[in-house]
Each structure stands twice: as C-alpha cells, then as structure tokens.
Structure 1
Amino acid sequence: MNLVFVGFLFESFIIILATLVLILILKRYLIKKHRLTLYLFLIFLNLVLSVVFSWLSKILVLTTNIDYVYNEPNPAAQPNVPFPWLVTRIVDFRITVFFVAVAILISYILKVKVFGTDYVTSHKIIVYSFGAYTGIFCLFVYQRGNTLLDAINFLNVLVYMFMIYVPFMIRSIEAYKSVEEKTYRIAFFSLAIMSLSFILVFVFTLIDRITIIFGTEGFTPFYFAAWTFVIIGFLFAYLGYIRPKSA
C-alpha cells in the first residue's frame, strides 16, 4: 500500500471538512462582525493552509521525481524541479509548520482578548521572540534529509503550542467553572477542548517524526491521529463558541 497516497486521501478529507467549517466561521463573522470571531477565523485559516501545504507535499511526491528523504543529510540526488528552495520546504513540511506557528501567535492575541487581560510586556516579548525564532527555523535552518532537524522543527512548534495553549486551556477551564450561564459555559469548555486538540496535533506529529528517525516510513497511526485532532478542535470551537450567541 502506498502510504503517501493514503495520506493524500486522508488530508483531502481533512481539507474538505476544515474548509466547510472555515466558511461557516467566515459567514458568522460577516453577520456579527465580532472581532474574536475574526481572530478564530484567522487561526483556522492558517491551520487550513498548513494542511493544504502538507497535502501539496504529497502531490509533489506522487507526481514528480522528488521524494521524501529521511536520515540522509544532503542526499546525492537533489530534486530537479523549478523553485527548489520552496518546493523542498513544502515537501519537508517546513511551510506547513510555518503556518501553524502563525496560527499560534494569533491564538495568543485571542487569549488576551477573550479573557480581557492586558498584555504582560515580558510575556509578550517571549511569545513574539519565540514565534520569530520558530518561523526562522522553519524556513532557514534546513538541510534536506536531516530528519533530526525536522524533528527539532516540530518540537519548536510543540513548545510554542504549550506556551500558548496550556495557559489558554487552563483559563478556559477556570472560566467554565466560574460562570453560570449555559451558553458561556459551553463556549469556554469548547475553547478548552480546542486548545487540548491543537496541542495533541503536534504531540502526535512529533512522535511520528521520531519514529522516522528510528527507521519507519512515517504515516504511523500518530500521523492520522494528529490531523484528526485538527478537525476535533475546529468542530468544538465552531459548535461551542462561534455558533452560539456568545460569538
């Protein structure tokens, strides 16, 4: 069985579902003009783009002479394709991870706005600095076939996710416990599940990368679990937070 083709089909399904939710969120924003809904739309837009570029990587592998290269830094056969700088980073999921990093940064802004807190200067500097480091690492600290660097790349994003989404999840749970109105309880619970889901996306993705270092071809059950949690996060955010009157 061609695992790349299976991954392509699976991500096609994820993209269709995610795009439908994204359209619903956009429609909600155009009706309500609620700034928090706009932030969620931008977060989800970047996450959808991340899946799209992961999907494009599989199209490139399936239709061109380029292939996934693992545990072989600077492989002898470099891909003979137009725009190799961009294409190799698409194939090796660097562009995918870059859009995830952007989504995390917007999530930080959403967290501050949702809970009505002011930016803490020191924390803001750390968040933006680590975001810049993660983005630079995604695009420029790269060696084709160096799976260890790829794993570090995913680890960077996982750390960034923990920095933003763990506090987001904790605050959402606290708010869920403290409010009485059912609509807001559902909204905060949904945000907590969304945060947990997005963390698990990269926990499972990192595990999948680590298995490659030890000789697998990737596309383990952890890979499929990762993208599944993208949809879970989307659905909980939409059904619990955006669709109700809270957004």
Structure 2
Amino acid sequence: MLNISLISNITFESLGSFVGIFYEGIIIIGMIIILIDLYRIYRVSKLSLTKNLLLSFIFLTLGIFFSWLAKWWLWMHGVSNYFGGYGLQLISTFKMSIACAIIGMYFLKLFFNSLFSTGNERSSGNNLLIIRKLIEVSIVLTVHIPAFLLNSPELGFISDAIAFFILLLDMTFLIPNALKSFRMGKKDKIFGKKFISIGLTAIFIFNMAIMFLLDRVTMFLQIKGTFNELGYTVFYFAAWTSVLISLIFAVYGFIKR
C-alpha cells in the first residue's frame, strides 16, 4: 500500500508543480509562435518600432521561462531542494522573472516613445531611463538577501511583494500611453483600431503586474484559496494569461492589422 504522506506530497507538491509546468508551457509555446511571426515581420520592415516591441515580449517570455524552470526544478528535485543557492532562489521566488519584465518594459517604453514622443523628447530621456532600469533590476536581485541569509519565508514573501511593487511602479507609464492610444483610436478613422489594440496591449501588461502583486500578498496573508496549497493563487494564472493576450493585441491588432 502507498504511504499516506507520500500521497499527500504528490498531491500538494508534485501536482502543484506539474500544473504550473503544464500551464506555463502552454503560455510559452503560444508566445514563441506569435514572436516568430513578429520576427518575420521585423525582418521585412526593419522598423525600430517593431524591433522594440519584439525585444519587449522576448524578455517577458524569458521571464515566463524562468518561472517555468522554477516549477520544473521543484517537480524534479522536491521542495527540500527548491530553495538552495541564492541564484536558484532568485528564480524560484520570481525575482529573475521580474528582472526580465523590467528590461522588457525598457523596450516597451522605447516603443511608446517612438509612437507618441518627438525626437527631442526621446533622446533626452533615454539615458535617464537606462539608469533607472539598472537601479530597479539591482534592487530586485538584492532585495531577497535578508530572507536568504536568515532562511525566513516571511521575509521572502515581503521581498516578493517589494519586487512586484517595483515592477508595478515601473509599469505606470503604460496607463497614460493606453489613454493616449484610446484617444487616438477615437480620432483616427483609418488607424483607429490599431491604436485601440495597442492601448489594450498596455492595459493587459499592466494587469500582469497587478495580478502578481495580488498573488504574493494573498500568499503572505495566508488567505485560503483554490490554488493556495499549490504555492500560488488564481491571480498567478491571470497574470501570465494577460501577457499572452497583450501580445496577441500587439501583433495581430496593431502590427498586422
């Protein structure tokens, strides 16, 4: 007969990891298929607008891959080996994913600057933007050090919330750009649907950060939810789904329309 504790481990650890692996695998495959299509468009057009959009979603996809890798490690090696070295903890606690998302937002900011800003505005703010991104990435990659040194899950959840809050602040530029896009969508009779699509792209990407912040806060507060025993909440599923939807709007609603 099977040991009861073994069945429990399979239910809450292995099953939880497998659900995450399967779900994120589907998202990654969907992202790659659309990114290949976007790359083909860029090879023909050679537009910086398309290049920045492509690079932005490449880094977002890389962030999803790091999240998938963390769940794969847990599935293969178990929870006891999940929080090993600091590098592994950066992956398992979403810090590498957030760092990739912040870099992705750099290129998305360049995309919107190309779309709405003048040449002088774009050149004057780029150096400051690079410095800001370097600071943000450095904070995200070091904020987990106290939790790592003290082996404290509570500090780990706090560092998660801080990192996701930084990402949320980093994405605030998406809101005014989404509003600009919607206004242009109403005014422009020819390209109106393109602008509405890129506005929806911005909204869904911003929603990703909100969903992940809610996921970490929910876990920290120990709110019992459907997926809480698996190591994440329903907000986790909504977050990566938002990224895929945003890419669909960007490519098939803006670039290819």
TM-score strictly above 0.5: yes
Alignment of 1:73-112 (within 5 A): 79=84, 84-112=85-113
Mark the structure with the bigger radius of gyration: 2
Q: Identity over the aligned pairs, expressed in percent?
A: 27
2:183 counterpart of 1:174: yes
**C-alpha contact 2:114 2:122 (8 A) present in aligned 1:** no
Matched residues, number? 229
Q: Give the number of the structure with larger relative contact order, counting CA–CA contacts within 8 Å between residues 6 or more apart.
A: 1
Task: Say if 2:91 and 2:97, in contact at 8 Å, map to a contact too.
Answer: yes
Q: Report whether the alignment pairs 1:44 with 2:57.
A: yes
Residue 95 of structure 1 aligns with an amino acid whose one-letter code is M
Aligned partner of 2:225 in structure 1 is none
Q: Is the 8 A contact 2:96 2:141 kept in 1?
A: yes
User: Structure 1 residues 124 and 11, CA, compared in 2 at 3 Å: closer, same or farther?
Assistant: same
Q: Is the 8 A contact 1:18 1:234 kept in 2?
A: yes
Output the CA distance in 2 between the equivalents of 1:26 and 1:50: 19
Aligned equivalents of 2:40, 2:81: Cα separation in 1: 38
Taking structure 2 as the reference length, the TM-score comes to: 0.83
Q: Which runs of 5+ in 1 are unaligned?
A: 70-77
Q: Deviations over 1:136-178 (max 9, x none)?
A: 112112133321011110111011111x211211121121122
Report what 2:139 is aligned to. 137
Distance 2:122 2:31 in 1: 33
Do the aligned partners of 1:130 and 1:160 also contact (CA within 8 Å) in 2? no
| Structure 1 match to 2:8 | none
Offset of 1:190 from its aligned partner? 0.8
Do 1:68 and 1:91's aligned partners in 2 also have CA atoms closer than 8 Å? no
Deviation at 1:68, TM superposition (A): 8.9
CA contact (8 A) 1:101 1:135 kept: yes
Cα distance in structure 1, aligned partners of 2:130 and 2:141? 17
TM-score normalised per structure 1:
0.86
Relative distance call for 1:68 and 1:130 in structure 2 (3 A) is: farther
When residues 100 and 185 of structure 1 are mapped into structure 2, their CA distance, relative to the original with a 3 A threshold, is: same
Distance change (3 Å), C-alpha of 1:185 and 1:229: same
Moved more, 127-136 or 190-199: 127-136
| Alpha carbons 1:68, 1:92 under 8 Å: kept | no
Q: How far 1:235 moved relative to its partner?
A: 0.4
The Cα offsets for residues 98-155 of structure 1, whole Å up to 9 and x where unpaired, read as 0000011111111110124232788657644442232011211213332101111011
| Letter aligned with residue 177 of structure 1 | K
Instruction: Report the equivalent of 1:188.
Output: 195
Q: Secondary structure at the match of 1:119?
A: helix
Which 4+ runs in 1 deviate beyond 3 A?
65-69, 120-130
After superposition, the Cα gap between the structure-2 partners of 1:67 and 1:154, relative to the gap in structure 1 and judged at 3 Å, is farther
